[in-house]
C-alpha cells in the first residue's frame, strides 16, 4: 500500500534517543505499541473479511455516488476502531490516486457527547488547521455548525466518511440521524457515509426508528480474538523492541491472559507497552515473563482511569466505595445497593465531601454498570417480598486504589 506513513518509516535520528533509548533502551520502534497506532495491513490479524466488507459499503464514494452508513458492534479490543480507521485511510489514499477528494473524520463520542461538539469535531477533523477556525469552541449555534459543515463538505470533497466511535455515548442520536440522512434531506450534495461503532450489542434497540432505517441492516459484529490470533497480533509488534529484549514465553503469556479477558487485543498491546516502560524505568535490558504481573496492574489502572475520565467525581467515589466493600469482605463480591450507598456515605464523610442523594447514587450505579465497571443484577428476596439490586466490581479492588480521587 502506498502513502502509508505509519509503518516501516525510520524515526528522525535527532529524536531517536528520546523516543527509543531512554533508560534501559529496550525500544527500537516504540510507536508500534501505541494504542492509537494504526498498523499496516500486514500487521492486522484475522480481520481481512471485515476490512473487505466495510470497504465495499463505502467504496461508492470513490465514484461520487451515495454510499451506505454502517454499524460495527463488538466487545472492547476487537479491532472495531482499527478496521474503521484503516479502511478510511485506504479509501482516502485510493481517492488521491484517482484524483477524488475523500474527506475522513474520526470522533470518539465518549469524550464528545453533545451534538454541537460532535459536529464541531467533525468539521475540525475534515479541514486544514487554518480553516478549523470556522469551527470555534463556542459562540455559534448547533444549526450554524451544521451549516458550516455542509459548506465545507460540498466545497472541498467528492465524498466524506465519518466514524463515530462509542456512538452509544451520544446524549441523543440526532447527529447520527442528521449526518446519515444529510444527502437525502438535501443539506449536501457530496455523499456522506457514517461508520457507527459501539460495544453495546443492544444499542440498535435504543436508536430511534428513523435513524435505524438510515442504517438499514448493514451491521457487522466483530468476534473476540482467540489466544492464537492474539499471539499473532502481539508477535507482529515484537519489532517495537530491540532484538532479544523480549524473552521467550512473554508474548504467549500475554496472549493467554488477553484471551481470558474476553479476547481483548487492546489489553495485550497495552501490556507490551507497559513492559517496555517498566524495563526502561528499572534499567533492564530484557523483559521476562515474571515482569508481566508487575505491569498488568498499572495497565489496568490506566484503563480504568480512562473509563472514569470525564465522569463526575462522585462516580469515582461510588466505584471506590464498592472497591472498599470488596476488599473488606474477602468472601463476598456482590453487594446490595443499600450497602454500597452506606459505604459511599462513609467514604464521603471521611474525606469531607458532601454525599449525593440516594436516588442520584442509584443513577450513578446504573452508569457504572453501563460502562462495565460493575455488573448489576436483580434478585428476588423470596415469595412476595419484592426484588433488590446487587452489584459486583469487574476490576480488582486494589486497581481502583490507584485512581486519583
Ligand X SMILES: Nc1ncnc2c1ncn2[C@@H]1O[C@H](COP(=O)(O)OP(=O)(O)OP(=O)(O)O)[C@@H](O)[C@H]1O
Which residues form the interface with ligand X (CB under 6 A)? 35, 39, 43-47, 74, 76-82, 199, 233, 265-266, 269
- Grid coordinates representing 327 are 476488599
User: Are 128 and 77 contacting, i.e. CB atoms less than 8 angstroms apart?
Assistant: no
| Grid cell for residue 145 | 455548525
Q: 81 or 112: whose CB is closer to ligand X?
A: 81
Give the integer Cα–Cα distance in Å for 324 and 351.
14
- Is residue 79 annotated as involved in ligand binding? yes
Cα–Cα distance, 226 to 151 (Å, whole number): 45
Spatial contact of 224 and 78, defined as CB atoms under 8 Å apart? yes
> Could you give the CA distance from residue 318 to residue 61 in angstroms, rounded to a whole number?
47
Dihedral (Cα; 331, 333, 338, 344), 10-degree rounding: 100
Smallest distance, ligand X to C-beta of residue 58, A:
17
81 marked among binding-site residues: yes
Short-list 36, 39, 63, CA closest to 51? 39
Q: Which is nearer to ligand X, 182 or 254 (CB)?
A: 254
- Please give the Cα distance from 205 to 164 (Å, whole number): 18
CB 51 within 8 A of CB 44: yes
Q: Which residue has the cell 463538505?
A: 153
Question: Which cell is 137 given?
Answer: 469552541
Q: How far apart are CA 357 and CA 192, in angstroms?
A: 45
With respect to ligand X, which residue has the nearer C-beta, 127 or 169? 169
324 is in an annotated binding site: no
State the Cα–Cα distance between residues 364 and 332, nearest whole angstrom. Answer: 22
Residue nearest to ligand X (CB): 79
Residues 286, 244 contacting (CB under 8 angstroms) = yes
Please say which residue, 106 or 278, places its beta carbon nearer to ligand X.
106
What minimum distance in Å lies between the beta carbon of 262 and ligand X?
Answer: 11
CB of 374 to ligand X, least distance (A): 17
Which one, 163 or 315, has the nearer CB to ligand X? 163
**Smaller CB distance to ligand X: residue 204 or 314?**
204
Q: How far is the CB of 272 from ligand X (least distance, A)?
A: 10
Distance of closest approach, residue 232 Cβ to ligand X, in angstroms: 8
| Cβ distance to ligand X smaller for residue 54 or 233 | 233
**Least CB distance to ligand X at residue 132 (A):** 25
Minimum distance between the CB of residue 39 and ligand X, rounded to whole angstroms? 5
Taking the C-alpha atoms of residue 50 and residue 67, their distance in angstroms, rounded to an integer, is 17
Gap between the terminal Cα atoms of the chain: 46
CB of 91 to ligand X, least distance (A): 17
Please state the separation of Cα 394 from the chain's center in Å. Answer: 18
**Nearer to ligand X (CB atom), residue 79 or residue 123:** 79
Tell me if 237 is assigned to a ligand binding site: yes
Q: How far is CA 387 from the centre of its chain?
A: 35
- Binding residue ranges: 78-82, 225, 237
- Binding residue ranges for ATP: 78-82, 225, 237
Amino acid at each position: 500500500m502506498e502513502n502509508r506513513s505509519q509503518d516501516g518509516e525510520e524515526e528522525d535520528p535527532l529524536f531517536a534517543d528520546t523516543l527509543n533509548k531512554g533508560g534501559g533502551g529496550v525500544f527500537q520502534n516504540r510507536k508500534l505499541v501505541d494504542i492509537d497506532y494504526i498498523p499496516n495491513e500486514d500487521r492486522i490479524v484475522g480481520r481481512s473479511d471485515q476490512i473487505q466488507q466495510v470497504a465495499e459499503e463505502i467504496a461508492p464514494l470513490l465514484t461520487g455516488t451515495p454510499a451506505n452508513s454502517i454499524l460495527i458492534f463488538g466487545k472492547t479490543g476487537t479491532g472495531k476502531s482499527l478496521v474503521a480507521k484503516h479502511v478510511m485511510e485506504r479509501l482516502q489514499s485510493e481517492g488521491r490516486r484517482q484524483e477524488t477528494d475523500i474527506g475522513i473524520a474520526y470522533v470518539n463520542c465518549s469524550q464528545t457527547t453533545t451534538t454541537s461538539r460532535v459536529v464541531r469535531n467533525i468539521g475540525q477533523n475534515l479541514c486544514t488547521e487554518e480553516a478549523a477556525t470556522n469551527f470555534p469552541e463556542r459562540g455559534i449555534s448547533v444549526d450554524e455548525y451544521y451549516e458550516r459543515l455542509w459548506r465545507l463538505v460540498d466545497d472541498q470533497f467528492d465524498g466524506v466518511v465519518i466514524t463515530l466511535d462509542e456512538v452509544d455515548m451520544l446524549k441523543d442520536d440526532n447527529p447520527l440521524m442528521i449526518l446519515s440522512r444529510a444527502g437525502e434531506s438535501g443539506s449536501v450534495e457530496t455523499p456522506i457515509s457514517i461508520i457507527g461503532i459501539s460495544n453495546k450489542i443492544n444499542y440498535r434497540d435504543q436508536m430511534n426508528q428513523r435513524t435505524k432505517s438510515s442504517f438499514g441492516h448493514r451491521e457487522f459484529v466483530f468476534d473476540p480474538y482467540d489466544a492464537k490470533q492474539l499471539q499473532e497480533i502481539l508477535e507482529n509488534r515484537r519489532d517495537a523492541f530491540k532484538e532479544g529484549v523480549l524473552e521467550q514465553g512473554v508474548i504467549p503469556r500475554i496472549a493467554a491472559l488477553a484471551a481470558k479477558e474476553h479476547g481483548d487485543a487492546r489489553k495485550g498491546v497495552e501490556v507490551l507497552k507497559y513492559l517496555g516502560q517498566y524495563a526502561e524505568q528499572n534499567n533492564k535490558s530484557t523483559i521476562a515473563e515474571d515482569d508481566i504481573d508487575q505491569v498488568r496492574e498499572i495497565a489496568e489502572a490506566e484503563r480504568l482511569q480512562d473509563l472514569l475520565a470525564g465522569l463526575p467525581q462522585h462516580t469515582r467515589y461510588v466505584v471506590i466505595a464498592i472497591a472498599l466493600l470488596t476488599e473488606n469482605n474477602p468472601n463476598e463480591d456482590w453487594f446490595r445497593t443499600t450497602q454500597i450507598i452506606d459505604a459511599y456515605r462513609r467514604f464521603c464523610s471521611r474525606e469531607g465531601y458532601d454525599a449525593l442523594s440516594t436516588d442520584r447514587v442509584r443513577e450513578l450505579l446504573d452508569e457504572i454498570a453501563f460502562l462495565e465497571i460493575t455488573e448489576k443484577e436483580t434478585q428476588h428476596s423470596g415469595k412476595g417480598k419484592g426484588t433488590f439490586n446487587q452489584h459486583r466490581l469487574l476490576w480488582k479492588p486494589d486497581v481502583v486504589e490507584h485512581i486519583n480521587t
